[in-house]
Chains A and B, each alone.
Chain A
Amino acid sequence: MATDPIPSAAPALAKLIQELNKLPGIGPKSAQRLAFHIIRLPASEAEELSHAINIVKTNITLCDQCQNLTEATPCNICANTHRNATQLCVVEDPMDVLALERTRSYQGQYHVLHGSLSPLNGIGPDQLKIRELFQRLSDANIEELIIATNPTLEGEATAMYISRHLSGQNLKVTFLARGLPVGGSLEYSDDITLSKALEGRQEM
Chain B
Amino acid sequence: MPNPRTYLATGIILKKTPFSEADLLINMFSREHGKLRGVAKGAQKSTSRMVGHFEPLTIVEISANKGRTLDNINQAQIINNLPHLKSNLSLISQGLYIAELLDGFGNESNANQHLYSVAVDTLVNLNTNPNQILNLRWFELNLLKSTGFGIELEACTSCNKEILPNHHRYSPSHGGLICLECNLPTQFSQPISLQALKVFRLIDRTHLLSLPYLNASDTLLREMKTLLGSTVRYWVDKEIRSNAFMERLEQLD
List of B residues within 8 angstroms of A120 by Cβ: 14-15, 56, 96, 99-100, 103, 241-242
A190 within 8 A of B: yes
A152 within 8 A of B: yes
* Residues of A157-204 whose CB lies within 8 A of B: 157, 160-161, 164-165, 181, 183-185, 188-193, 195
List of A residues within 8 angstroms of B244 by Cβ: 119, 124
Q: Tell me how many residues of A have a C-beta within 8 Å of chain B.
A: 27
The answer to whether A124 and B53 touch across the interface, beta carbons within 8 angstroms, is: no
List of A residues within 8 angstroms of B245 by Cβ: 117, 119, 124
The answer to whether B81 and A122 touch across the interface, beta carbons within 8 angstroms, is: no
A81 within 8 A of B: no
The answer to whether B55 and A183 touch across the interface, beta carbons within 8 angstroms, is: no
The answer to whether B52 and A193 touch across the interface, beta carbons within 8 angstroms, is: yes
A125 within 8 A of B: yes
B47 within 8 A of A: yes
* Per-position 1/0 for B31-65, Cβ under 8 A of A: 00000000000000011011111011100000000
**Smallest CB–CB gap between A117 and chain B, Å?**
7
B interface residue numbers (CB < 8 A to A): 14-15, 20-21, 46-47, 49-53, 55-57, 78, 81, 83, 86-89, 92-93, 96, 99-100, 103, 241-242, 244-246, 248, 252
What are 17 pairs between A and B in contact, CB < 8 Å? A119-B242, A119-B244, A120-B15, A120-B242, A124-B245, A152-B55, A153-B55, A153-B56, A153-B57, A156-B86, A160-B88, A160-B92, A181-B46, A181-B51, A184-B51, A185-B49, A192-B83
